[in-house]
Amino acid sequence: MELLIIAAVLGLIPAFIAQSKGRSFGAWWLYGFLLFIVAIIHVLIIPSLHNPSVNSSELRECPFCAEPIKRQALKCKHCGSEVSPLPSLVEIHGDGTKIAWKRVGVLILSLAVTLIIIRFFGVK
């Protein structure tokens, strides 16, 4: 029983990584639950389904045609209207990092819960 709980918690790690890459959380949780070592290696090498060149947080809507354009754009590539540029999110935060701290926190929390479960139930 304890091993099933540990496997369920460990299955969250590849599931969260896969979700951040645009993959199915549930399918990857099941994969991680059944084959954790294989799933963690697999999820680390698969490419992201998101467009790597333009992050969705770096886009905004054109006020004239409502199509997505880059935040720094001076002219809409869809309708040709001139727009005023917005500062990028990196400039707003000023830290220059794009690390997803939420994902890192979830991974650390998952590992901590796993260690607590192992300690509490005393896996033999």
Predicted confidence (pLDDT) per residue in 80-90, tens digit: 999 988 775 54
Mean pLDDT of 8-15: 92
Buried b (16+ CB within 10 A) or exposed e, 57-96: ebeeebeeeeeebeeebeebeeeeeebeeeeeeeeeeeee
115: in domain: no
CA distances from 34 to 14, 38, 86 (A): 11, 9, 46
| Residue carrying the six token digits 């905004």 | 60
Query: pLDDT tens-digit profile of 46-99?
Result: 988 876 555 566 788 898 998 888 888 889 999 999 998 877 554 444 444 455
Say whether both 37 and 66 belong to one domain: no
Report DSSP state, residue 74: S
In a domain, 111, yes or no: no
* Whether 70 and 39 share a structural domain: no
41 in the same domain as 10: yes
pLDDT at 108 over 90: no
pTM of the full structure:
0.47
Q: How is residue 99 written in tokens?
A: 């690390």
